[in-house]
Structure 1
Amino acid sequence: MTITSHGEELILDKERALYLPQHQLLAISDLHLGKSAHFRSAGVQVPSTIAQNDLQRLGLLIEKYQPKTLLINGDMFHHGLNTDIDEFSEWRKHYKDLNFLLVKGNHDRLANADYASMNIDIHEPSFCLGPFCFIHDAPKCTEEELYPISGHIHPGVTIVGKAKQRLKFPCFYFGNEYAVLPAFSTFTGLYNIYPKASEEIFAVTPNSVVKV
């Protein structure tokens, strides 16, 4: 789905990604690589294919949009170094010409040398481009003249059908003061968003992005 926000065209992709054609920038939030491996190390039975599937989805998005820059808007890595992050390091080698930017989130705790070894540029607390300011937690944004685009809360929306069935989907939220991207990882919960008047929510269904 294509929308216009603050004078710029934005593409909302059903794979929980945002593309800015004018800047050739692909943005995602809350990748949480390493989360499944961290749970497995604690004895929780979590499939080992979660990180692989998320990286495969991300690779397909890169092929689809051919961006110059990939921006991860916080919580790229869930925990310390582990097998999921090792897998990312190998996957990253297929995209040597792609500029990787990370706006640090609350779970991004690796040493700067670890990010550098994976050719990831770090930005704290935000990365600003055009009319937008990407920041993991919107209320902390200090660029008042720019529109913050955040992540962090894993936004979701509940849709009630004609037969009163309730379906919950990840969503893009474009509020009066800031926007929130859906969590890219499929291994996350959802926090229900309740928009105010004039605010917009776009549900991410299995087949498309739809305005609610």
Structure 2
Amino acid sequence: MDGYQLQWGNLTLHLLPEKAIYVEELRSLLIADPHFGKAAHFRKAGIPVSEKLHIGDLMVIQKLMQTYHPKHLYFLGDLFHSDLNIAWNDLETFAVYHPETNFHLIKGNHDILPDAVYRSDIWQVHVEPLTIGNLILSHEPMTNIPSDKINLCGHIHPGISLYGTGRQKLTLPCFFICPNQIILPAFGRFTGLYTMKCGKNDNAFVIAEKKVIPVNFID
């Protein structure tokens, strides 16, 4: 599967078709909006959604960890969707089997589990945006970002609509890049997309057919 490599200052950012970013120099893997537990949340409401959806997402993370051997795994918010359910046990078991990696959570609006749920020996929980060198990690996109920093975030679930002949329209998840900011696509497959409006200083890299592809905007 083909990713796309960006250079920002002294950092090499790998935009991955698995909807994640790997920061080479920091040995850090970044994932936004997995929304684990959402399937069980919908089943509780009487909507039949298979738990295999989340197991498949964990298998994708497992493959990424086997490929990149990250020292740190940062979830950029909305790790777990709404109330506590059985999916949390699967997530913690997964983390326990990777003691070589530090698991971080930058809290998002859906991260409403009681503080006691986050076991201190597994999770490093950050309530506020986290600054690491020239990176600022947050859940929601920030404004007024210092010129020497880049904000990596989620929350939006960005997508781009592409148009073809015969009124064909296809909306795909993307990495959305505006000055000093990269908004990651939602990692979870059961999340939906928000179609982004693109300005002249914006760029997008869509995820299609297991590749990350730059999109050229025409004014």
After TM superposition, the score normalised by the length of structure 2 is 0.90
Q: In the TM superposition, what is the alpha-carbon distance from 1:130 to its structure 2 partner?
A: 2.3
**1:10 counterpart = 2:17:** no
Structure-2 residue corresponding to 1:35: 38
Q: Distance in 2 between matches of 1:111 and 1:90?
A: 19
How is 1:4-83 mapped onto 2 (pairs within 5 angstroms)? 4-83=7-86
Q: Distance in 2 between matches of 1:98 and 1:160?
A: 41
CA RMSD of aligned residues (A): 1.7
Q: In the TM superposition, what is the alpha-carbon distance from 1:112 to its structure 2 partner?
A: 2.0
Instruction: Give yes or no for contact 2:149–2:180 (8 Å, CA) kept in 1.
Output: no
After superposition, what is the alpha-carbon deviation per residue over 1:46-94, rounded to whole angstroms, capped at 9, x for unaligned?
1221110111111111111111000000000111210111111222221
Q: Distance in 1 between matches of 2:191 and 2:198?
A: 21
After TM superposition, the score normalised by the length of structure 1 is 0.93
Q: Closer, same or farther in 2 for the Cα pair 1:117/1:50, shift >3 Å?
A: farther
Structure-2 residue corresponding to 1:167: 170
Greater share of helix: 1
User: Which of 192-201 and 37-46 deviates more?
Assistant: 192-201
Q: Distance in 2 between matches of 1:193 and 1:64?
A: 31
- Of all paired residues, the percent bearing the same amino acid is 33
Q: How many residues align?
A: 212
SS of aligned partner of 2:142 = helix
Q: Distance in 1 between matches of 2:164 and 2:65?
A: 34
Q: In the TM superposition, what is the alpha-carbon distance from 1:143 to its structure 2 partner?
A: 6.2
- From 179, 189, 195, the equivalent of 1:186 is 189
- From 133, 145, 167, the equivalent of 2:136 is 133
Q: In the TM superposition, what is the alpha-carbon distance from 1:6 to its structure 2 partner?
A: 4.0
Structure-2 residue corresponding to 1:103: 106
Q: Distance in 1 between matches of 2:149 and 2:120?
A: 32
Q: Distance in 2 between matches of 1:142 and 1:13?
A: 24
Q: In the TM superposition, what is the alpha-carbon distance from 1:141 to its structure 2 partner?
A: 7.2
SS of aligned partner of 2:84 = coil
